[in-house]
Amino acid sequence: MIRKLWALAHNTFREAVRDRILYSILFFAVGVIALSLVTQEITVGDRDKVVRSVGLGAVAAFGSIMSMFLGISLVWGEVEKKTVYTILSKPISRWMFVLGKYLGMMMTLSVVVAIMGLVYTVLLSAQQTFPPAIVYVSMGLLMVELMLLTSWATLFSTYSAPTTAAGFTLAVFVIGHLADDIWLYGSQLESPAARAIARALYWVLPNFEMFNIRAQAVHEMAIPWPVVVGGLGYGLMYSAGVLCCAMWVFERRDLK
């Protein structure tokens, strides 16, 4: 079973790596990171910190873009291109297919984030100093964030076309980054019913800020371990839940 899962994941990774689209996004991302790190024109505030902050932000932004862009057609693309026929007619369960695709996608994203991290490290070392450990911990948490975002994209891609899935995934992405504001705003509401709804929303929808220790990383503070461990547990459990939904939905579908 593990070997079949590996075959599915590896194949997904190989397909992604051979696709030119991946390279165009990656090329662009590396370009932006490089540009943000070599900009000499910034006059406001502490230049070094601004540069570090923009660089880390770019890694996170492009990681998210890549996750959404590739994730929304992860399962749908296979159904649409009918490549799924020759796979699911083999002794492969549908849940295994979804999980294999997801794992392959996470392999792709890991490589992408690693490359961006490498570019960041090289350029920053050349310009300032070698980044402290907390920078890499923050990138690790970014990977957990991408696990969660990708699981949502996978869920949407099991039953809707990429355009619709893109809309939903983007909504989750935006709401997930505003979760703390929803909480703040919600707790100030007058009616108890509205407060309850806001609170329920907060618990159901993801909170991507749980994974964000970039500000601490930029200021080169000590690693906030409770936040890291909490984010890891939250991300793993939440992603697993969303993936289970994706498998359940796909299990019942007809493959056109």
Partner 1 sequence: MTPAISTQNLGKTYRVGFFMRRVRGLHDLTLDVQPGEAFGLIGPNGAGKTTAIKILMGLHRSTEGAAQLFGVDVGVPASRQRVGFLPERPYFYAHLTAREVLHFYGQLFGMPKALRHQRVEMLIERVALTRFADVTLAKYSKGMLQRVGLCQALLHDPDLIVLDEPMSGLDPLGRALVRDLILEQRAAGKTVFFSSHILSDVEAICDRVAILVGGELRECGLIADVVADRENLEAVLLGEMAAVTDESALGVL
Residues in contact with partner 1 by the rule CB under 8 A? 3-4, 6-8, 11, 14-15, 18-19, 81-93, 252, 254-255
- Closest separation in Å from C-beta 7 to partner 1: 4
CB-wise, 238 or 250, nearer to partner 1?
250
CA-nearest of 110, 144, 145, 120 to 218 is 120
CA–CA gap between residue 76 and residue 95 (Å, rounded): 14
- Closest separation in Å from C-beta 81 to partner 1: 6
- Closest separation in Å from C-beta 256 to partner 1: 9
CB-wise, 69 or 95, nearer to partner 1?
95
- Axis crossing angle, helix 94-127 with helix 47-71, rounded to the nearest 10: 160
CB-wise, 91 or 192, nearer to partner 1?
91
CB-wise, 92 or 227, nearer to partner 1?
92
SS3 of 252, please? Answer: coil
* Sign of torsion over alpha carbons 42, 44, 46, 50: negative
- Closest separation in Å from C-beta 9 to partner 1: 11
Token readout for 244 is 């289970």
CB-wise, 11 or 128, nearer to partner 1?
11
- Closest separation in Å from C-beta 253 to partner 1: 8
| Contact criterion met (CB below 8 Å) for 145 and 235 | yes
CB-wise, 101 or 214, nearer to partner 1?
101
The DSSP code sequence of 116-147 is HHHHHHHHHHHHS-PPPHHHHHHHHHHHHHHH
- Residue 21 burial (CB < 10 Å; 0-12/13-18/19+)? exposed
- Residue 216 burial (CB < 10 Å; 0-12/13-18/19+)? middle
CB-wise, 16 or 144, nearer to partner 1?
16
- Closest separation in Å from C-beta 98 to partner 1: 13
CA–CA gap between residue 23 and residue 248 (Å, rounded): 33
- Closest separation in Å from C-beta 92 to partner 1: 6
